[in-house]
Amino acid sequence: MEQYKIDFIELLVRAGALKFGEFTLKSGRVAPYFLNVGSFYTGELLTGLARAYAQAFLAVGVEAEVIFGPAYKGIPLSVATVAVLSAQFKKEVSYCFNRKEAKDHGEKSLLVGAPLNENTKVFLIDDVITAGTAIRETMEILKNNGNPQVVGVLIAMDRMEKNNEGVNAVRAIEEEFKVPVFSIVNLDEVVKALHGKQVGGKVYIDGEMMEEIADYRRRYGV
């Protein structure tokens, strides 16, 4: 496993963004783990998160001119990621994000940042894909605002789960929009990095938690 992935997984648990326990998801499923990138609210943590997105973006090798972050969580992600790409990796990419509501004065645009048109190559970043609802909404927004070429999607973690229709949620998005979906890490990599190992003096995935994750995956995994 690449070092940036290991560093990112350790950052997730240190920041409290990846928690283990019992969590009821929007889908109604009760999961033994939960990811919330909203926990990256300090400058240091946000920079670490953006560095992981930047490294993964460079690793997948997709050429794009604009990184788009869907409101609301995607807003700081897109801005911080392009800043890290420029400052640490000398890679110039623009950012763009959407407002939840269009302005009724001044520039009455739904989008903020780089202008988009049919020739613009856009790369989406988000936290996770569960049912794919947020990605579908974003695709519709982009279609109606410049209709750029979406060349890829990058999420923080692939939960490796089926959606409510029993289909791999990530593959469903790829097939529907003919766009590759990448992740910084997936659940297999998280388990491999944390099972029985201490991070900051704590073991996050012990034998009991490993069983809970395995049971959850038997029911909902792909």
Give the dihedral sign, CA 34/35/39/44.
positive
- CATH of the domain spanning 3-220: 3.40.50.2020
What pLDDT does 25 receive? 85
Pick out the chain residues at pLDDT < 70.
Answer: 102-108
Q: Where are the domains of the chain?
A: 3-220
User: Which of 121, 152, 179 has the alpha carbon at shortest distance from 59?
Assistant: 152
List, for residues 176-209, the tens digit of each pLDDT value. 999 999 999 999 999 999 999 999 999 999 999 9
Q: Write out the catalytic residue numbers.
A: 103, 105
Prior bond to 41 cis, omega within 30?
no
User: Which of 155, 152, 185 has the alpha carbon at shortest distance from 8?
Assistant: 185
What pLDDT does 102 receive? 63
First to last CA, the chain: 21
What pLDDT does 100 receive? 78
What pLDDT does 103 receive? 56
Query: Taking a C-beta distance cutoff of 8 angstroms, is the pair 205, 196 a contact?
Result: yes
What pLDDT does 132 receive? 77
